[in-house]
Structure 1
Amino acid sequence: MMTKHMNFLGAAGLIPFAGLPLLVLMQLVSVYEGVAWFTIYSALILSFLGGIHWYDALNRTSSVSQLYIAMLPSITAFTVLLFTQGATTLILLKVSFLALLFYDFRQLQMNAHYLRLRTLLTGVVIGCHIAMLWLS
């Protein structure tokens, strides 16, 4: 039962990632607005993904360092938004999603469905970053 909800919510979370490049492509929003909104949403989701490491660390008493690492996606997202713009922001966020996925596989003790879903969602997110880069 939980798997169905994970799939639905994961797919729903992709709507802004896929929708904003489409809105730019259809010229319903300007490139400037589309990139700005896209990068804000991207940073929010990157921050959100740190939470799974916080949860995992709390359930494994031997992983205090993981609590600190769980904060890196939020700090990275904030720093990227604060100090970069345009294509640089999109590239750094894209690389951060990919790096976090690799770290997830190395560190998380989650079920196989979560890791498969996370891989699929991250693939779409990276593709959407590439599309937004192309459009900008």
Structure 2
Amino acid sequence: MQPLIKQLGFAGLLPFIGLNILTFTDVMPQSLVYLYFTQYSAVLLSFFGGVHWYDAISSHKQGHQMYVAMLPTIVGWLCLTQSGAPWVLGILSISYLLMMFYDKQVLTLPKDMVVSYTKLRMQLTTIVVLSHAVMIFSR
């Protein structure tokens, strides 16, 4: 796997980590930190649907993968409409886990990328889910 892929993957964690740090400061209102965290999480979750949309199209797949590709965007949008609700970050967190497991089962990857992609996704998803837990329990 190219170093740029890893660098961009870990760079995508910066808003999660930065917003988690802000929950322990008085730099901005906590409600705003929570809102920004929820917004970023929902937007990033929808990215994983795009991965499956592309995979299904490029592999000429029909069926469930095309439908599942739409779910992260719909779940993210629904969470944005309820962004003040206490359960929203739990739903987003679970969605990240489900997408990671679905990726492992369904994505068509070159053989040389399967192990490195799966390892990277596990690392990134673990940090994302832990960041959600910090945000949930710091409220």
TM-score by length of 1: 0.92
Who is 2:102 aligned against? 103
The equivalent of 1:68 in structure 2 is 67
Aligned to 1:22: 21
Cα shift readout 1:89-111 (whole Å, capped 9, x = no counterpart): 11111111111111111111222
Measure, in 2, the Cα distance between the counterparts of 1:3 and 1:63: 30
Return the structure number with greater helix share. Answer: 1
Report the equivalent of 1:79: 78
Compute the RMSD of aligned alpha carbons: 1.4
Q: In 2, distance between residues paired with 1:98 and 1:57?
A: 20
Aligned partner letter, 1:131? V
- How many residues matched? 135
| 2:127 aligned residue | 124
The answer on whether the counterparts of 1:39 and 1:90 sit within 8 Å (CA) in structure 2 is yes
* Cα-to-partner distance string for 1:72-124 (whole Å, 9 max, x where unaligned): 10011101221353421111111111111111111112222112111110000
- What fraction of aligned residue pairs are identical, expressed as a percent? 37
List gaps (5 residues or longer) in structure 2. none
Amino acid at match of 2:2: T
1:115 to 114, 118, 122: 118
CA distance in 2, matches of 1:8, 1:84: 29
Amino acid at match of 2:132: H
Q: What is the TM-score when the length of structure 2 is the normalising length?
A: 0.90
Preserved contact between residue 45 and residue 96 of structure 2 (Cα < 8 Å) = yes
